[in-house]
A and B are shown apart, each in its own frame.
Chain A
């Protein structure tokens, strides 16, 4: 379980997050919805310990990660996979090397076993035949599927998606959302999805937190979002896609 308690983050004089509290349960899909540039992706980086909050605490399965050193964070991070907004695939590595990167770096598996698990993920992502291709030779949707495969390969408990459908065509978006839904059913995985597309939330999320001007203005079941009377939520429900 992931728990953020009164987390505040500032860059210089600019306040990004203003005392937000959030609970993300295992085996559930939680969406964090908000306009672009409001600090949604920052929440994912805070959860992974890639950045530290100015104040507040972040608990991962009961461990407060805000006071941990970088080397102490590695075992915590291994519980979570992340799919970055721009995919962050290692562009000098092939698809197969990208997928197997974590296994080769962190687990002492035989090369045969590593290769077997890579092939499984390549098949899951529907990328057979592209093992030796470089990321630059793939389409946006294919890159996203590689990033998902790379995040899943070490069997994390939770997977973090940063704008999983941003910049994709409707067909690719549908495939990615289908892939995310199937994760929970097949692998019993929890997920956090950061997005500014409200349709994505209704398609895959069990619960949603709405981030607006550095604060959580709604946190509850996805369907109960319709019951909110907050003017911003009312406006996003009618506009569907959020812009600052």
Chain B
């Protein structure tokens, strides 16, 4: 009795592994095609501008809200901790490092995964199930060049200024909290921020923006492209896109920091 059960289990595991590797292969080819079509950007200039607005300007509110909250929270919590050691004046330094290297880009990446990634997954998934992607192909248009490449290039370009805005908003909110909550003079706070930040700190933070842009766009668009099973299928593919890209962002955040800090 046990043998057929084990046999079925192994067969299912084998099929799942095969499906996983086929999907990975498909994702790899999809990603390569998205990069290869970047030279066609001039042809899809309007699509690029639309996507730049969606990923950039329209994402500003959520990026600002999340970075201001994180900056304020860090100022309060780290300030309390430093006060115990009589090192409150170090608040600017510790907040700046946390925001610029880690939390600024990370929170921005997760927020954009939820906002921009979910939009991509749902929009392309709906296009897939209503045969609009097939229609593009039938009318001689490469759907990856038309739909994915403008999203990818827009994210690659606008995520960098968004990171800068997120960093600044986070630090500024931390400075305000430091002044009004911990009674630290703004001059002392900012003096602990800028002179001590080195080039490496900015590289760590700003290198994450394009990495996250690639992860969010390609994962969400790919999941939209392979959506099937009606509206429920669009929901499933959108969720999968957000979950996978968020997980990859957390992993990539660690490795980018590790690689840059160890090698610079």
- What residues make up the interface of A, taking CB atoms closer than 8 Å to B? 45, 48, 50, 70-71, 74, 77-78, 80, 82, 84-86, 88-91, 101-102, 105-106
Contacts and interface: CB of A to CB of B under 8 A. Distances in A.
Contacts, number: 44
A74 B140 contact: yes
Nearest to B137: A50
Contact of A82 (B130, B135, B141): B135
Residue of B131, B132, B141 with highest tally of chain A CB at under 10 A: B131
A90 B146 CA distance: 13
A89 B184 CA distance: 60
Given A80-B138, A91-B130, A102-B139, 19 more contacts: A45-B134, A48-B137, A77-B137, A82-B135, A82-B138, A84-B131, A84-B134, A85-B131, A86-B131, A88-B131, A88-B132, A88-B134, A88-B135, A89-B132, A90-B135, A102-B140, A105-B140, A105-B141, A106-B140
Contacts of A71: 142
5 contacts: A48-B138, A77-B139, A88-B131, A88-B132, A88-B134
B103 to A, nearest CB: 36
Contacts of A85: 131
Interface string B106-137: 00000000000000000000000011101101
Contacts of B134: 45, 50, 84, 88
A105 B142 CA distance: 10
A132 B137 CA distance: 24
Interface of B is mostly: loop
A92 B175 CA distance: 44
B222 to A, nearest CB: 17
Nearest to B43: A105
Contacts of A105: 139-141
A4 B180 CA distance: 78
Nearest to A49: B137
Contacts of A48: 137-138
A84 B130 CA distance: 9
Contacts of B142: 70-71
Given A86-B130, A91-B130, A77 B135 contact: no
A80 B139 CA distance: 9
B138 A101 contact: no
A90 B132 contact: yes
A181 to B, nearest CB: 23
A101 B139 contact: yes
A242 to B, nearest CB: 22
Nearest to B140: A74
Contact of B140 (A78, A90, A91): A78
Nearest to B141: A105
B156 to A, nearest CB: 23
A24 to B, nearest CB: 17
Contacts of A74: 140
Contacts of B138: 48, 50, 77, 80, 82
A78 B142 CA distance: 13
A103 to B, nearest CB: 10
A244 to B, nearest CB: 18
A89 to B, nearest CB: 8
Contacts of B132: 88-91
Nearest to A78: B140
